[in-house]
A and B are shown apart, each in its own frame.
Chain A
Amino acid sequence: MKIYIEFRKRKLPQFLGLFILIFTFCGHLSFAQQRDEVEGVVYDTDSGEPLPGANIYWAGRPQSGVVSDENGRFRLQKITLPAELVVSFIGFQEIRRQIQENDKPTKIYLRPEEFSLSEVVVSERRPDENVKSVDMGKSVVPIATIKNIPALFGEVDILRSLQMLPGIQTAGEGTTGLFVRGGSADQNLVQLDGAPIYNPSHFFGFFSVFNPDAIDNVSLYKGNIPAQFGGRLSSLVDVSLKEGNTNRIRGEGGIGTISSRLTIDGPINDKVTFVASGRRTYADIFLGLSSDPNIRNNSLYFYDLSGKVTYRPSDKDKITVSSYYGNDFLGLSEQFGFGWTNWVNSAVWNRTLSDKLYLDVNAYHSSYNYAVSFQDEESGFAWDNLFSESGLRGELVYMPNENLKFHTGVHTQYYHFSPLNFAPDENSNLEGITTNARNALQYNLFLSSQWEINPRFSAEVGLRKSFYQQIGSGVAYEYENGDPRTGVLTDTLNYGSFQTMQTYSGWEPRAALRYLVNESSSLKASYNRNYQYLQVASNSSAGLPIDRWVPADRYMSPISSDQYSVGYFKNLVNNRWEFSVEAYYKDFQNIIDLKQGANVLFTDNVETEILAGRGWAYGAEFLIRKNVGSTTGWVGYTYSRTYRQIEGISLGQPFNPRFDRPHDLNVVVNQQFNPKWSASLTFVYTTGQAVTFPIGIYEVDNQRLPLYSDLRNEDRFPDYHRMDVSINYKAPDKGRKWRGSWNFSVYNVYGRKNPFSYQFAEILNETINFRPTSDNPVTTRRPGVVKTYLFTYLPSLTYNFEF
């Protein structure tokens, strides 16, 4: 990863590159004088490491200065002593020291300048990347920016932050599911160090699984996904755990409203570094303090642990091994328990084969499981399920010259969906259920090239070929007339281990072109085809931990998408402002939905419950963004439409899925007032969700039922809007190791009651949720509408620290 630094501090004249996120304290200046030179070493007080690149000159003579070498050493031509020596370095406090003729040798320690943090912009791309790269539909949000965005419950959330970008919709209030350019939530490949995460959320989707302190980088691809990546239709969320620093043991963390977190990183020896991170909620600790045993005996928590070890055996090799383990649990009265776990492991080997040839190898294993248990004499049970993906990916990068770059490689995946296991207790009157396992292999070959054809034209062209093979051991069913929707079984076919059950393959061309209109503006276009061989069988908009993933088989074809996009990109005021507008059209094939009343959890014949069809989406995304200065942020606006057309739903006519929200405006502003105080503000406005409201009412089976149209989602929730604010206070550095800061944020600052749901139900005795009893019977009843809303004026306080 390249780091580009733009330095805008006016009182320092030099622009030098360095990754700056440190604090320090004053040190000394040391000298040894030899012949006509003074000699010394410059150190970083924070790490104790030599500081290369520092400027050393005599006061009033900067033009005759020198720069410290890679070991922090310097030699400067002597002038008439005593004289004032100046040592400066980007982001560090300048030091001036009187040098006498007979001074003894000492070391120089430079202390980083706090104020420089507001003036130095660290980004993971060139300032003109927006215009000059071929990238389309790619967003990189620096972790520092994500940490500044006001957060629900003060929990900094990577996925929720991505929802502030154009083209990305949310399923609803508070949830972290991403709906990217008309794609549903299961069409996003969320990967951590190259390994997929199948349920990237805690707490039923309200928080994402990523501890921000442990994350190095987040990239979102929603338009032109390079041929190196595949497997999902709509986006790639590529998250990297950070690597441990090589200088000293450091820590950072926070104590928040609902959770606390701690990350420690540093060197083990000169070749090995580590980072270890953990986070846990503590709602259950407070529950345990209750005097009411009904509350005290409940559990509700999530935690996650992650770690990464980096080993650099030589200058040409780097090996990293990373692991993530996250768990959620809800327990009621020690009788009912529901938990789920993500466990993700990845190993990456990067080798520089030559100055033009690089090798990346990635092996991973990701598993997800949930378990539900209920202890009861008559109907107790334990129910669990597990699925996993293991993969091996090798990639060669060849750069014959600076204008040409090739990526080629192979990616092999093995999917294993364990049998669902429902085991009643010994005395239960229920019988157990065990479905059959589903397994699949997938092989992907890819080749792509990035070619700077001439200063104006640049292209990225790639091709990916995916081969999918459903394999045994497993069972396939045959149905009457070959149609599983009849539900009438005619035969059962058993397959042995690794026996081929069904195969699919697909060519996935990817192409992107950039035309540089001038130094500050460009036109881009791209085309992408993607295949996805597994889907979630669900007809609710938000994912549940018990959602069932179904791999492609003889009845369910892989889904595919074709996306066409064009864009205009413009940078303004010396790259301080970025502007872009992108338009896209996207086609989906073989999208699935469920039959009415479908039950997909406990059946081995899931194909009998599924309907398939097509979809399409189009839209235009506008983004204006300021990356530098004391005021940063962006304004994004998207107009988009999304449609599905599935036989058996909405009379076979096109309909909008719930997340079709034509207007979507996001404003993010960060303001650094001074080294101590900063503030952030976000504003979200979107069209209300597409939903189905009743068109009447009728009675059947002694119930008053809302009457619905046969057409799906013809109505809308009211428009959604919300403003969040946060204030950050960073305590002045007193030279101590421990540095703290406070964050106070308010979610939904003006208390908008955005609907989470509308329930069309009877209002009994003029009271919502009235529960009649023999002493308090029903006296009146009428149809009504009950709105549920989740969060208004939600303040939170977080203390963050580093040491």
Chain B
Amino acid sequence: MNKLALYIVVITALLLTACQEEVFIELDSQPDIPVIEAIWTDAPGLNQVTISYSKDYYNLDENQVERDAEVFIRDEETEQIFPFRFVPQIGAYLPINNQTARIGREYSLHVLMNGRDFYSKGRVLPPPTLDSIAVNYREERLFREEGYYLTLYGDIPFETENNYRIRIVRNDTLLNRRNDYLLFDDTFGTQILNRGFELNGYAFKENDRVRLELFRLNRDAYDYLNELVGLLFNDGGLFSPPPQNPTSNIRELNENGEVLGYFKCSSVLSSIITIGGAEN
């Protein structure tokens, strides 16, 4: 509904003959803050940790990537360590032996670099049930273009910790515009999958190959992504809240140093569909 308000404001602004132009503003600089993005799921191939640094706003250089960190994830129940190692080809740390999380377990993330020790914690919550995905052709109408749309059927049996993200990869391209984020919790109930949840934001064409991923997140990671989307929509105007960095769930042990990014500890349901074809 925040998007609704923004939409209305945008419409209004356009009607009021708003104009836009690109400008240059002198900005202060505080680069080199570590950015840690850690993904730990029960799905092989998704788990990785990237470590980079912030830079000047206008800097067009490649991101500075940290290659020499010690990265591992620990099972808080069994105290098993899952070490990660840096893979230069992708610029990220991958778990050795492609290990994965187990559902229901609590894990902690540890990143040690340059004498600093960064830490986070999360639990891999059980996923909801995803029974089937239907594909329906829809005509163009308000807020929706013409095309094929996915409808998810399943069940959310949980009373709490209902924080979900759906991610769509179309023809090997991750849909990652700000409008492509689909985050939902139980504000509007948990029956959304039972009645069929049509993904209105994504129109597909015939023969599109679609991979759908449904993450069940911890609240702090969900909040992080929500704030990230809010920031992407923040136009710096009167109707937007003052911009702030999304609240990281990673902290520096024994210090109060600044760190950006987040730890996503999640279960994943995924499915691959070819529009006009069969579901896998």
Contact = CB atoms under 8 A, between A and B. Distances in A.
A binds B: yes
Interface of A: 171-172, 174-175, 203-204, 206, 283, 300, 330, 332-333, 335-336, 338, 372, 378-379, 383, 422, 424, 427-433, 539-542, 544, 546, 594, 596-597, 599, 601-602, 658, 691-703, 705-710, 712-713, 715, 753, 756-760, 763, 768-769, 782-792, 794
A708 B247 CA distance: 12
Nearest first, the 7 A-B pairs at minimum CB distance are: A431-B189, A757-B237, A542-B238, A698-B54, A429-B195, A430-B188, A539-B241
5 contacts: A431-B189, A541-B238, A703-B232, A763-B22, A768-B22
A338 B8 contact: yes
A692 B4 CA distance: 24
A699 to B, nearest CB: 6
A425 to B, nearest CB: 11
Interface residues of B, number: 83
A701 B235 contact: no
Interface string B13-38: 10111111111110111110101010
A763 B16 CA distance: 24
B65 to A, nearest CB: 10
Given A597-B227, A602-B1, 10 more contacts: A204-B8, A204-B12, A431-B188, A691-B242, A699-B52, A701-B176, A712-B244, A768-B20, A769-B20, A785-B22
B33 A698 contact: yes
A335 B144 CA distance: 12
A171 B20 contact: no
Given A330-B11, A698-B33, A700-B260, A792 B1 contact: no
Contacts of A768: 20-22
B21 A596 contact: no
A427 B197 CA distance: 11
B25 A758 contact: yes
Nearest to A203: B12
B130 to A, nearest CB: 14
B70 interface: no
B260 A691 contact: no
A431 B194 CA distance: 12
Nearest to A699: B63
A471 B194 CA distance: 39
A539 B242 contact: yes
A592 to B, nearest CB: 14
Interface string B54-78: 1111111001000000000000000
A597 B242 contact: no
A724 to B, nearest CB: 16
Contact of B25 (A428, A539, A693): A693
A127 B215 CA distance: 73
Interface in B181-207: 187-198, 200
A378 B12 contact: no
A599 to B, nearest CB: 7
Chain B CB within 10 Å, residue with most, of A429, A712, A715? A429
A786 B191 contact: no
Interface in B214-257: 223, 225-228, 230-232, 234-247
A372 B245 contact: no
Contacts of A788: 13, 18-20, 235, 237
Contacts of A790: 13, 16-19
Contact of B243 (A544, A706, A756, A783): A706
Chain A CB within 10 Å, residue with most, of B19, B227, B262? B19
A540 B8 contact: no
B213 to A, nearest CB: 13
Chain A CB within 10 Å, residue with most, of B19, B23, B188? B188
A692 B8 CA distance: 24
Contacts of B20: 768-769, 786-789
B82 interface: no
B136 to A, nearest CB: 10
B174 interface: yes
Contact of B191 (A431, A757, A785): A431
Contact of A691 (B176, B198, B236): B236
Contacts of B230: 597
B119 interface: no
Contacts of B96: none
Contact of B238 (A422, A540, A784): A540
B24 A696 contact: no
